[in-house]
């Protein structure tokens, strides 16, 4: 018959075996959970994105109405009223503003690169609509 001390030792061994079995079973459960996988785009997807052009890419196209023009800065800057509010546009080609005849209140489409929501570096300017501004101080149309 087992003595009290051997009975406690047997209980400790059985408990240790049960914990070991439970831990190994838990490991199987944890490792069998589905892992996240990042899929790489194939070349066909990249070609399709290039064929769409820049019109769908808001990081490379900006639109807005001209609120200010500063050709004294290097590079020259425009201030546009865009979808996210006022945006400063650095015009990389320094003569692009004068070549296109950009004036206040013109609505522009700009190709380039968005630095952040309020700063854009333009490489190409296209006037979509020429607008006339109302000058409240003179009460006349521009």
| pLDDT tens digits along 44-86 | 555 555 555 545 577 899 999 999 999 999 899 999 998 888 9
pLDDT at 134: 61
Answer whether 0.85 is exceeded by the pTM: no
pLDDT at 59: 84
- Which comes out higher in pLDDT, residue 43 or 13? 13
pLDDT at 39: 54
Question: Considering only 32-41, 58-67, 87-96, which range has the smallest mean pLDDT?
Answer: 32-41
Alpha-carbon separation of residue 60 from 47, 66, 84, 89 (angstroms): 17, 18, 15, 12
Residues in the chain: 142
pLDDT at 34: 52
Give the number of other Cβ atoms within 10 Å of residue 62's Cβ: 22
pLDDT at 49: 53
Across the chain, mean pLDDT equals 76
Q: Give me the residues paired with residue 87 across strands.
A: 80
With 80 as the cut, is the pLDDT of residue 135 above it? no
pLDDT at 8: 79
pLDDT level of residue 38 (50, 70, 90 thresholds): low
């Amino acid at each position: 018959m087992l003595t009290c001390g051997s009975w406690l030792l047997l209980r400790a061994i059985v408990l240790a075996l049960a914990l070991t079995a439970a831990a190994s079973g838990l490991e199987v459960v944890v490792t069998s959970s589905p892992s996240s996988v990042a899929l790489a785009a194939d070349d066909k997807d990249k070609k399709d994105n290039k064929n769409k052009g820049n019109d769908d890419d808001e990081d490379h196209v900006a639109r807005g109405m001209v609120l200010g023009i500063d050709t004294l800065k290097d590079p020259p800057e425009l201030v546009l009223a865009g979808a996210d509010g006022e945006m400063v546009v650095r015009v990389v080609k320094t003569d692009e503003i004068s070549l296109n005849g950009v004036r206040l209140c013109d609505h522009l489409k700009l190709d380039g690169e968005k630095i952040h929501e309020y700063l854009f570096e333009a490489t190409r300017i296209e006037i979509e609509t020429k607008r006339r501004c109302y000058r409240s101080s003179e009460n006349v149309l521009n």
